[in-house]
Amino acid sequence: MKVLKFGGTSVGSVESITNVKKIVENVKEPVIVVVSALGGITDKLLNTSKLASKGDIAYKKEFEETVKRHFSIIKHVVARSKQTAVLKRIGEIFEELENIFVGVSLIKDLSPKTSDTIVSYGERLSSYMISNIINNAKLYDSRQFIKTYKQFNKHVVDFELTNKLIKNTFKEIPDIAVVPGFISSCRYDDEVTNLGRGGSDYTASILAAALDASTLEIWTDVDGFMTADPKVINSAYVIEKLSFTEAMELSNFGAKVIYPPTIYPAFHKNIPIRVLNTFNPSAAGTLISKETENSNSENSKKAIIKGISSINDTCLVTIQGLGMVGVIGVNYRIFRVLAKNGISVFMVSQASSENNTTFAVKNEDSDLAVAVLNEEFASERERGEIDDVEAEKGLATVAIVGENMKRTPGIAGKLFGTLGRAGISVIACAQGASETNISFVIKLEYLRKALNSIHDSFFLSEYKVLNIFVAGVGTVGGHLLEQIERQQKKLMNQKGVKLNVAGVANSKKVLLKREGLDLKYCIRDLKNNGMDSSPSILRDEIVKMNIFNAIFVDCTSSEKIAALYETFLNKNISIVAANKIAASSSYKNYSLLKETARKRGIKYLFETNVGAGLPIINTMNDLINSGDSILKLEAVLSGSLNFILNTISEKIPFSKAVKMALDAGYAEPDPRIDLSGKDVLRKLVILAREAGYIIEQKDVKLTPFISEKYLKGTIEDFWKSLHELDAEFEEKRNTLFVKNKRLRYVASMNEGKCQVGLMDVDSRHPFYELEGSNNIIMISTERYHDYPMIIKGYGAGADVTAAGIFADIISIANIR
C-alpha cells in the first residue's frame, strides 16, 4: 500500500485533476489519496472571512467566485451520470458555509474556532469532488481519525490516539481511499482543527506511518527538490536523492516543496518519500530516504552541498548585557517565554562570552517577541544588567545543506569567502554539531546575489556564470560583443563558463537584462529600446541590479566613466578597462583602485591599456610576483605612430601617412591625440607603476611627435597645415636611410626615470624591423639583464584590443 498526496495546484484545474485521475487509477496496489483544497481556495476563504468579519458585503462576491469555480470543475470533470448528485451535495456544503459567513458578518467577529471551521471547507469540498472523479474511490473524513490538542496556541497531533483511530478506520483498505488533508479535530470536544498551512503533506505522512505504507508520494507542481529556488537561480536543478535530515533542513529553511513536520513520521518508520510532478509524471523526482550518498558516488561528486534554501521573512532579535555572563538559566527564560507566546525560533546564535543571544523569528512575531522579553527581563533592565531587547527587520536567512559537509574541512571558509568577495556581510550565523547545515543571516536586499554566488561557488550550477556590463559599443566594444557571441557555446561546453552580457551602454543610452541580452541584436536594441542614460544613471542602475560575479567592461575613453570605477569596486564589481584614464590618473587614485580590488577579492584589470592584446602587464606582474625586479623598459607603444613612420616614403609624405593611419583605424578620429605623444606618455606611466615605481604624468619628459603649434586650433586647421611637415619628415627619413637607420617614437623608463620622444635606431636594434602598427617592449630585470625580455606583436586595431579585453574577462573565471 502507498499513500499519494496531491497539493492545491495538482487539484486546481481541469487539466491537473485529469492528470490526478490518470496517476491514481494507474497504481497497481491499494492507495490512499490525500488532497488539498483547490489551489488558492484556502487563501480565498480566509480573505472572505476577513471581509465578513468587517461587515463588508464584498465577502458575498468572494464567496460566489468560490462556488462558481467548484461548480465549473465539476461540470468539466465529473462523469455526467454523477453530476446531478455531486452538484447537489456540493451545494449543500456551500449552503452550510454561507450560513457561517452570514453569522460572522452579522456579529462582526471571527474567532479562531470559527476560522478553523471555515478553512476546513476547502479540503472537504475538494476531497468530495475527487472521490467522485476517480473511479471506485471511497471517501473518508480525516476529522474522524486525525486528533489534536492545544500546545502553545498551536494544534499538535495526538499520535497515540491518532494512530489507533487510523488503524481501526483502515482495517480493510479499499483499492482507492480519498482523504481530505490539513483538517483534524480536537481530541476532547471534536471541534474542527487543522495541522497548519501545508498540513496536507503532514496528513499523508501520518497515514503512511500509521499504516506502514511502502512509499509516500508527494505530488506537486515541480519536478522535486531543487538545488535552489529556480525563480532566483536559472541554473538550479532537481536533486535526485536526499536523506531525511537534508530534506528536513531544506524544508525548515524555506524550501516549500514539503511541509517540514511531514518528514518525521516517515523517517520514524523508514518510509521513503518521493516528490513528483503532477504536470510531468514521467520525471524521476526526488527520493528522500535514510540512505545517504557517499561523497565518492557519481551523483555527489558534483557538489559537497546538496542545496541552498532561504527564508526572506526574517527578523533578528538580540538580548544582550554584561549581566548575562555566567548566569545560569537566562536562555531557559528566553525560550520559555517565547514558547508560551507561540513564537517559533528557527535560528539561534550566541556569543561564547554569553553576553548576548541572538535568534531569528518571522517578522510578524518580532514585536511580540520584543515585548514579552522586555517584560520577562524587566528587573534586569532596570538594574542595567541587560539592555533593551532589539529587533532588526529587513533580513533574510540562508542555509546550505548537505550530509557530505560532515568532517569536510574548509566549507565554512569557502562559504564566507564567497560572500565576502560578493560584498555581502554576514550579520549572524549558526552551525550545529551534525555539520549538515550552515545557516546565516544577511540583509534581504543581498539575498538574490548571495544565493547565486553560493550556487556558483559550490558547483551546484552547471556553469560558472560571469555577468558582464559593456560600456562603449563602438569599434572595440562592438568587436568584443561579436567575439563573446562566437565563443559563448564553446566556453560553456568545454570550460563550464557562461558569459552572460547583462547590460550594454553608449554615451546616451543603457540596456539592461538580468537574464542576458541577445548579442546578435543588442546594439540595435540599445538604440531602439535603451533607456536614456548618463554616467550616474549607468552607475545607479548597475548597482541596483546587485548581480553576482559582475564585471564592468569599459571600452570608452571617457573620464566620467573611469570615475565610476571606485563605486563599482566597492560594490564588488570587477573592472576590465581598455580606458587608460583611471590607471594613468593620479598615483593616489591608481593605488586606491588597486588596493580596493585587492581588499574586496575582485579584479581591476587593464591589460589592453598598453599594447592592445599583447600580454605585457601580465608578464610584468608575473616577473615581480616571482621575486624579480624590473630595472628598465624600452618600448614602442603607439601602433598609429609606428604605422605612420613605417609608411612615410619618397612617394608617401607624412601628411598622407597620417590620413592612411586614420583610414585604417589605427589613429584616433582626432590624430592630434596620438601625435601629441600624451597617449604614449599615459601608457608609460601605467607600465612604470606596474613595475613598482611611483610615477605621475608630470614626472615624464615628453617630446611630442610634432611641434606644439600643430596641436592647437581646430581639427580643420590641423589638416590644412599638416602638409607643412612633409618636407621635415622626408628629410629626417632620408638622412637616416643613408645611415641605415630608422625613426621610432620610443617610451623608456630607467629605474624610475621616464621619457617619451623620437629616437633613431640602427639595424642591430630590436626596434629597427618593427613593421606596420606593431608594438614592442624590452624589459630589463635583475634576471633578464644582459638579454632583455622582448614582447612584440599587433599593438593597435579593434579586433586585437577586443581580444585582449576578452582575455582579461576570461582570466576572472580562473580557467585555462
Is residue 403 within 8 Å of 553, Cβ to Cβ? Answer: no
Cell of 104: 460572522
Provide the angle, in degrees to the nearest 10, between the axes of the packed helices 475-490 and 798-812: 50
**Active-site hit among 560, 683, 753, 792:** 683
Residue matched to cell numbers 507542481: 221
Residue matched to cell numbers 593616489: 588
C-alpha to C-alpha distance for 169 and 162, rounded to whole angstroms: 10
Pairing of strands 215-220, 183-186: unpaired
Exposed, middle or buried: residue 650 (CB in 10 Å: 0-12, 13-18, 19+)? exposed
C-alpha to C-alpha distance for 72 and 538, rounded to whole angstroms: 51
171 an active-site residue?
no
Cell of 637: 607603444
C-alpha to C-alpha distance for 488 and 665, rounded to whole angstroms: 27
Rounded to the nearest 5°, which phi and psi values hold at 295? -60, -15
Query: Closest by alpha carbon to 562, among 531, 584, 591?
Result: 584
**DSSP-derived secondary structure letter, 298:** T
**Residue 521 CB contacts under 8 Å (≥ 6 apart), including other chains:** none
* CA dist list (Å): 308 to 419, 624, 698: 14, 41, 54
Query: What is the b/e burial string over 46-84, where b = at least 16 CB atoms within 10 angstroms of the residue's CB?
Result: bebbebbbeeeeebbebbeebbebbbebbeebbeeeeee
Residue matched to cell numbers 458575498: 60
Residue matched to cell numbers 480536537: 186
Query: Closest by alpha carbon to 491, among 707, 239, 807?
Result: 807
Quickly count: other Cβ atoms within 10 Å of residue 460's Cβ: 25
> How many degrees, rounded to 5, is the angle at CA 582 between CA 581 and CA 587?
115
Residue matched to cell numbers 539592461: 512
Q: Which own/partner pairs from 664-671 qualify as long-range (CB within 8 Å, at least 24 positions apart)?
A: 664/773, 665/475, 665/797, 665/798, 666/639, 666/640, 666/773, 666/796, 666/797, 667/640, 667/643, 668/640, 670/715, 670/718, 671/640, 671/718
C-alpha to C-alpha distance for 453 and 456, rounded to whole angstroms: 5
**What residues are annotated to the active site?**
683
